[in-house]
Amino acid sequence: MTRATCERDRLAVVVGSSEAAGVIGMLREKGLLDKRRKIVRRGEMVEIPVLKEITGMQIVEQQSPEHYIKMPELADLLDGSIPEPLKKLLPRGWFILGDTIILRINPALSEHRRVIGAALLRLYPRCRCVLEDKGVRGQFREPCREVIAGTPGETIHRENGVIFKLDPMRIMFSQGNVKERMRMASLGKDEIVVDMFAGIGYFSLPMAVHSRPSRITAIEINPIAHKYLVENIRLNRVEDIVEPVLGDCAVLTPEGEADRVIMGMVGITERYLRRGIEALRPGGILHYHQNVPAWQYPDALIRPPVHAAALLGRSAEPLGCHKIKKYAPGIIHGVTDIRIC
């Protein structure tokens, strides 16, 4: 082993404890987390082992890195339980939401899904349930999921110092949106904010916990999601900042008083652009989410809010675009920040 390789095996990102969960999620998504070494807490700071140096982040070389005992692979745990040729079809990744494991399973493995679920619970003994994800349905984009192992129920998910309580059988929570939730946590200080599609507080809560806006009006039409929004506001102790509103944002969005409007829905978002723009004071910022063809990004993302603003006699200044995740083959979920004057 060369000296350079030895040094790489000791590299770690250093962050405050409140930031750790979000940074870990980001590093895992980018394939930069060194899963062979343990995450180490030293006082109020956390050392997160990484595979290489990362520009813009504080890096240390650990003197005494702590290594995990290598976990068995899922395929190893299923020796003798499923036919050998089917092992190549096993899922390579899954999402742990609180104490619940969520994954998609190849249809060819359908008759083996319960033994796969049981193996995952052995792999993650702190988890109590495994759900097979089959997409979303209905106006409220409710998850289609089936219990394949353990006992389902409400769970508590912690991310970037924020608490999210939810029922994974009834409420969506996207792992791919973690970077955008972290970005929202840095915006909105002392501002009046309207979150038009608040859900359980995906964007409102990180903003309230970390940036402390003057007020956030969080509007949600789904009564189940609204119930969790109310509870999550209490759990995060931001009752003085976030006002939960149950109902249709097409009707309940206030006019002319917001410094910032979050439109964190995709698919139907364009229908509500007029209300989002009318909510903003001159100079306010709109965060417009939408799915667009990858080859038309970012123009197809910017064009609708600019056009809607022009129809209302207002000017729109694009400030930037961000790719959130791949939504489907050839389709990107993105967000554009637009200043509306």
pLDDT in tens, 278-325: 999 999 999 999 999 999 999 999 999 999 999 999 999 999 999 999
Range of the structural domain that residue 114 is part of:
74-153
307 & 180 share domain: yes
Percent of the chain past pLDDT 70, that is, above it, reads 97
* Domain presence at residue 216: yes
169, 249, 242: which is closest to 202 by C-alpha? 242
Whether residues 335 and 220 share a domain: the answer is yes
138 lies in some domain? yes
Query: Which residues of the chain fall short of a pLDDT of 50?
Result: 1-6
Number of domains in the chain: 3
Query: What is the pLDDT, as a whole number, of residue 251?
Result: 96
**Residue 113 domain flag:** yes
Contact 313, 332 (CB under 8 A): no
Domain final residue pick, 11, 28, 61 = 61
54 and 79 inside one domain: no
Proportion of the chain in helix, strand, coil states, percent, rounded to 5: 30, 35, 35
In CATH, what number is assigned to the domain containing residue 135? 3.30.300.110
pLDDT score at 22 = 86
Residue 191 domain-assigned (yes or no): yes
Is residue 303 one of the residues assigned to a domain?
yes
DSSP for residue 71:
P
Residue type, position 31, single letter: G
Q: Are 131 and 121 in contact, with CB atoms under 8 Å apart?
A: no
**Residue 68 domain-assigned (yes or no):** no
Last residue of a domain, one of 153, 187, 210: 153
Shared-domain flag, residues 215 and 100:
no
Q: How confident is the model at residue 72, as a pLDDT?
A: 75
In this structure, are 231 and 307 located in the same domain?
yes
Residue 276 has phi, psi (to 5 degrees) of -65, -40
| Domain at 283, CATH number | 3.40.50.150
Q: Is residue 125 in some structural domain? A: yes
**What is residue 280's predicted lDDT score, i.e. its pLDDT?**
98
CA dist., res. 30 & res. 69, Å (int): 23
Chain-centre distance for alpha carbon 217: 20
User: In this structure, are 193 and 266 located in the same domain?
Assistant: yes
The predicted structure's pLDDT at residue 54 = 85
The residue out of 118, 153, 188 marking a domain boundary is: 153
**CATH number of the domain residue 28 falls in:** 3.30.70.2580
How far are the Cα atoms of 56, 68, 265 from residue 9, in angstroms, in the given order? 20, 13, 41
Residues 26 and 140 in one domain: no
* Residues 221 and 323 both lie in one domain: yes
Radius of gyration of the chain (CA): 22
Judgement on whether residues 79 and 57 belong to the same structural domain of the protein: no
pLDDT of residue 79: 84
* Whether residue 51 is found in the same domain as residue 101: no
User: Are 45 and 88 within one domain?
Assistant: no
Same domain? For 18 and 41 the reply is yes
For residue 163, being part of any structural domain is answered with no
Q: pLDDT digit string (tens) for 41-71? A: 888 889 999 988 888 888 888 887 887 766 6
